Amino acid sequence: MHKLTLVFTIAVLMLLGAAASAMAGSQDFTLVNETGVEIHEIYLSPSNSNDWEEDVLGDDVLADGEEIDIEFDGSDEKYWDLMIKDKEGNDITWEKINLKETSVITLHYDGKKAWADLD
């Protein structure tokens, strides 16, 4: 009887862990910098918000050609705005990115126009 209880407990814990993994991280994505410039700050905010969250890069820099994995903690927002800043504080913003359907965002900039490829 004791072994059956142990097996049942382990099975329940595994199911709970799988459910939590499936729910968390649905907006996680990889950001690829193909802008031609170093990115010194990255901000994300739900599209329905008027405020930017904190800089997800912190003290790091994302060089041209590099990528970074960005992970979320339990947010259920679907649409997000993304802003990057270079060393001089120049910024570019992309709006209403569906992070529930996007796993890789590749940022581009040709000196005049900015765009993003969403995969």
Q: Across-strand partners of 104?
A: 30
* pLDDT per position as a tens digit, 41-69: 999 999 999 999 899 999 999 999 999 99
pTM for this prediction: 0.78
Domain range for 32: 2-118
Q: Which residue, among 82, 86, 91, has the nearest Cα to 118 in the 3D structure? A: 82
The per-residue pLDDT for 75 is: 76
Mean pLDDT lowest among 9-18, 27-36, 99-108, 109-118: 9-18
Please report, for the domain that includes residue 14, its CATH number.
2.60.40.2890
Sheet with 114-118, side-by-side order of all strands: 67-70, 29-34, 104-109, 114-118
On the CB side of 61, how many CA atoms lie within 13 Å of its CA?
8
Q: What is the pLDDT of residues 83-103, one digit of tens each?
A: 999 999 999 999 999 999 999
In the chain, the number of structural domains is 1
- Mean residue pLDDT across the chain: 84
27 burial type by CB count under 10 A (0-12 exposed, 13-18 middle, 19+ buried): buried
